[in-house]
Amino acid sequence: MSEKSMNKQPAEFAFDQESEQQIEKILAKYPAARKASAVIPLLYIVQNQMKRVTKSAWVPKVAMVVVAKRLEIAPVRVFEIATFYTMFNLEPIGQYHLQVCSTTPCWLRGSEDIVAACKKVTGIKEFGQTSEDGMFTLSEVECLGACANAPILQVDHDYYEDMTAESTIELIELLRKGEKPAHGPMIDRLNSAPVGKKITQNTGAEDVK
C-alpha cells in the first residue's frame, strides 16, 4: 500500500443494512466457534458495499478492523487475507473494473487486441491504472476458467465473452453512458455451445456449414 493510498483511507466504516442481511446468511453457514472462516465472504461484502456507496469497489483498512471485530479475530489476520488475494482491491478503483484475461487460451484468441482496445478507449496507459474520468480501472488477470469463450473481459463480477476489439470498444462506450449490456457471449452463440447452429451427433453432416 503506497503512501498516497493511505491518504484516501476513510475515517470509518460500518456495514449498511443490505450488507448486514448478507452477513447474517453467511455466518449461518459456519459453526459459531469457526466463524473466522467467513473472512473472505465478509471482505467481499465490504468491497460490494463500497461499490454501492462510493462507486469504487475496494476494501479500506478501517473495514478490515470492522470485519475482525465481527469475527473476533485479530485485525492483522484479516489484513493478511485481504493482501493475499488479488481480488480484493486495497486502493480505490474506477467505477468499472475491467479485468482482461491474458493467459494462453485468451492470448491465442487475441486478448492483446482487447487490451489495446481498452487502453485506447479509456486512455489508460498501463495495467493497474484508473482512467482520468474515474470510470475505469484496467487489470490483467490470470485464467478466468472460461477458455471455451476466449477471450474474456470481466467487468466487475460479470464475464463478457468472445470479445473482439470492436465489441470491447462498444461495451466500454455503453458503460460510459451508464448502460450495462447483458453479459455472456458477445457473438451469436448460447453460453459455450458451438457457434451458429447447434451440432449434435444426430444432426447430419449437411447441416454443418
Partner 1 sequence: MTKVIVDGIPIEVPNNASVLQACEAAGKEIPRFCYHDKLSVAGNCRMCMVEITGSRKPLVSSCSQPVMEGMQVTTDSETIRAARRSTMELLLINHPLDCPICDQGGECDLQDQAVGYGRDCSRFTDEKRAVVDKYMGPLVRTVMTRCIQCTRCIRFTNEIAGTAELGGIYRGTSLEITPFIEQGIKSELSGNLIDVCPVGALTSKPTAFHFRSWELKNTDSIDVTDAVGTNILLQVRGNEVMRILPRKNDDVNEEWLADKGRFSLDGLKRRRLDRPWIKKNGKLVEASWTETLQHVADKLKTVSSDRMGAIAGDLCDAESMLALKHLMNALGSSNVDCRQDNAYYDISQRGHYVFNTSIAGIDDADALLVIGSFPRQEAPVLNSRIRKRWLSLTEQFPIGYIGELPDDPTYKVDQLGETPELIAELIAGKHPFSEILKNAKRPMIILGHGAITRPDAKIIFEQTMALAKTVGAVTEEWNGFNILHHSAARVAGLDLGFVPQGQAKDIKAMVNGGVDVLWMLGADEVNLSALPAETFVIYQGHHGEKAASRADVILPGAAYTEKSGTYVNTEGRVQRSFAAICPPGEAKEEWAAIYAVAQLLAVDLPYHNIDSLRAYMAEINPVFAQLRLVQNVVDVNLGDNAQGNFEKQVLRAVISDYFLTNSISRASLTMNECSKLRYAVSAEAAE
- Minimum CB distance to partner 1, residue 106 (Å): 23
- Residue 105 engages partner 1 in binding (rule: CB under 8 A): no
108: number of Cβ within 10 Å: 11
- Minimum CB distance to partner 1, residue 80 (Å): 4
From the list 34-42, 69-77, 119-127, 140-148, the region that binds partner 1 by CB under 8 A is 69-77
The CA-atom distances, in angstroms, between 91 and each of 47, 61, 88, 95, 173 are 11, 10, 9, 13, 25
From the list 18-26, 74-82, 165-173, 193-201, the region that binds partner 1 by CB under 8 A is 74-82
- What does the DSSP 8-state code read for residue 194? P
Work out which of 44, 58, 79, 160 binds partner 1, going by CB under 8 A. Answer: 79
Can you tell me the distance from the alpha carbon of 120 to that of 200, in angstroms, rounded to the nearest whole number?
41
- Minimum CB distance to partner 1, residue 59 (Å): 13
Rank residues 64 and 135 by Cβ distance to partner 1 and give the closer one: 64
Residue pair 168/100 in contact (Cβ under 8 Å)? The answer is no
- Residue 84 engages partner 1 in binding (rule: CB under 8 A): yes
Is beta strand 158-161 parallel, antiparallel or unpaired with respect to 184-185? parallel
- Residue 80 engages partner 1 in binding (rule: CB under 8 A): yes
Residue pair 140/127 in contact (Cβ under 8 Å)? The answer is yes
List residues near partner 1 by CB under 8 A: 64, 74-77, 79-80, 83-84
